Structure 1
Amino acid sequence: MTYDPASEGARMSFTGRMSYGDYLDLDRILRAQHPLSQAHDEMLFIIQHQTSELWMKLALHEMDAAREAIGAGRLQPAFKMLTRVARIMEQLNSAWDVLRTMTPSEYTEFRESLGESSGFQSYQYRMIEFVAGNRNMAMIRPHEHRPEIAEALLAEAARPSLYDTVIARLRASGFQIAPRERLDEPHRPDPAARAAWAEIYRDPQRHWELYELAEKLVDFEDYFRRWRFNHVTTVKRIIGFKRGSGGTSGVSYLRRMLDVVLFPDLWELRTEL
């Protein structure tokens, strides 16, 4: 006989009730894809970037919560949040595998439809960098046509970053590290912070929570760097050394971004151990 889930109590009628699609607002999400060409692969391009933006939204949600938890001294919940951010970056990395199924000739069919739009203009990506501590104020300019976005980035640049909050936690634990004078600049290597981390890594049993916090940050940056690398190789595979649709130098610009380090102290100390 044909199986009927209602025989075991499953609800089959949702008139006047909230269904799965209602809860997730799927009608609006699934109607948000608007290809501008007849090219088959434009749908792949749109969905890949839309889903990436959704994952970035969750990453920001977790990073903000982790920063708050660390500031309050609640490191255990922060570990879970930072682990989730690293897994989100892993998910974003996997998305490149799907996009790489598109060939240069397939991308060429709809590239002109993009106009000057480019992932370079993703404000959520920029916000992830700003929250982590890589704050380049010049990167706000592509968002000045949207004052609410530019203002959000400016506000973020005026508050302690995730890493600033971590360093404050080290100070609260007795390490002598001066606060940064300029919050609106990228983190630069700090000998005092590097010395503190070296002490923590040399005696992890004594400083276990701070040691684990350091490794959570390194995990996040490790996956973040892989995302950047995958971005470079995917772009090179599809458009070679052409300029980006947003006017950047394309692969050359992305390669330059590979040299950006979010938490330099945590990477430099490894040479000293």
Structure 2
Amino acid sequence: MSPSAALARQERAERNRGRPTLSFDGATPYVRYGAVDTLLSLQRPNTDEPAETSFIITTQVMELLFALVRHEWEQARSALDADDVPAALAALRRGHAAQDVLVESWDLLSALTPTEFNRFRDHLGEASGFQSYGYRHLEFLLGNKSAAMIGPHRADPRVRAELERALGEPSLYDAALRLLHRRGLPVPAERVERDWTRPAEPHPQVVRAWELVYADDRPGNELLALAEALLDTAERVTRWRHRHLMAVKRAMGAKPGTGGSAGLRWLRGNVQQDVFCELWQLRTGL
């Protein structure tokens, strides 16, 4: 905080006698800073069904939170690349807070009945959350890599380029394993340098490396703190996927999804995929 800015705020408060400023030329600074007018112009229901507004706003809130989580995970990955575990932990903790809000965002749709959904579902056309490039970025950062998943975005050069770059970069978990390797833990060579565009298969040596981390549970073991923070991240991803599954099950049952998927069957497959699976596997052997 600059001294001059702090002094200006103090002088303003004194001129206002402690009350907020009530007069501005044009839009308030708050509206300008947050682009609030633009934000509130983006809710455009296609029907008269009141629940559609909740559906649209929930979708938009989630997209904003996807962007925030992506920002924090990328910050954490960069910090791990720089061997700065405390900075990585701080970014992951901020990400946890955003993930918690993401999970709870499903509450906005928890009361959506099948009848209400049916009154506007046809107006979605083929629109589906599966097509969210913000969410796809998160899956790539988790290590759930698939070049085919860029397909829906081929017609958008900017988005396609961003996803292709994310596909070819190490994931957040890859960055953690590379850090363990640099710290002398037995992470196998094929997990340190490999084709980042493909998902990695679970490896017993990676499980062993994490077991060695957990063997030292004294306070101050930053690698153990990192492992637990990554697991906190993974668990929140699964919670979000499960809430998605239950929201769909409640609103439309086992009908096919709007985006061409089998609906519940597709979502159940996602819920059953462990995130950072070796961190879960080691628990059986400890």
- What is the TM-score of this pair, normalised by structure 2? 0.90
Q: Distance in 1 between matches of 2:155 and 2:255?
A: 26
Q: How many residues align?
A: 269
Query: Structure 2: any 5+ residue segments left out of the alignment?
Result: 1-14
**Higher normalized contact order (CA 8 Å, seq sep 6+, divided by chain length):** 1
Task: Work out whether residues 186 and 208 of structure 2, in 8 Å CA contact, stay in contact via their aligned partners in 1.
Answer: no
Q: In structure 2, what residue type is equivalent to 1:19? A: P
Identical columns (%):
38
- The alpha carbon displacement at 1:145 in A equals 2.0
Q: Distance in 2 between matches of 1:9 and 1:237?
A: 48
Residue 251 (structure 2) pairs with residue 234 (structure 1): no
Deviates more, 1:39-48 or 1:259-268: 259-268
Task: Work out whether residues 73 and 169 of structure 1, in 8 Å CA contact, stay in contact via their aligned partners in 2.
Answer: yes
CA RMSD of aligned residues (A): 1.6
Select which of 222, 247, 251 maps to 1:209: 222
Residue 285 (structure 2) pairs with residue 272 (structure 1): yes
- The alpha carbon displacement at 1:203 in A equals 1.5
Q: Distance in 1 between matches of 2:220 and 2:208?
A: 14
Aligned to 2:212: 199
Matches within 5 A, 1:10-25: 10-15=20-25, 19-25=29-35
Matched position secondary structure for 2:50 = coil
Aligned to 1:61: 71
Q: CA distance change for structure 1 residues 40 and 206 in 2, over 3 Å: closer, same or farther? A: closer
- The alpha carbon displacement at 1:195 in A equals 0.5
Task: Work out whether residues 67 and 165 of structure 1, in 8 Å CA contact, stay in contact via their aligned partners in 2.
Answer: yes
- The alpha carbon displacement at 1:244 in A equals 0.7
Aligned to 1:223: 236
Q: Distance in 1 between matches of 2:193 and 2:79?
A: 21
Deviates more, 1:93-102 or 1:233-242: 93-102
Matched position secondary structure for 2:158 = helix
- The alpha carbon displacement at 1:262 in A equals 2.4
Query: Structure 1: any 5+ residue segments left out of the alignment?
Result: none
Q: Distance in 1 between matches of 2:69 and 2:165?
A: 18
Q: Distance in 2 between matches of 1:115 and 1:125?
A: 20
Task: Work out whether residues 90 and 223 of structure 1, in 8 Å CA contact, stay in contact via their aligned partners in 2.
Answer: yes
Aligned to 1:99: 109
Select which of 36, 42, 45 maps to 1:35: 45
Select which of 156, 161, 171 maps to 1:151: 161
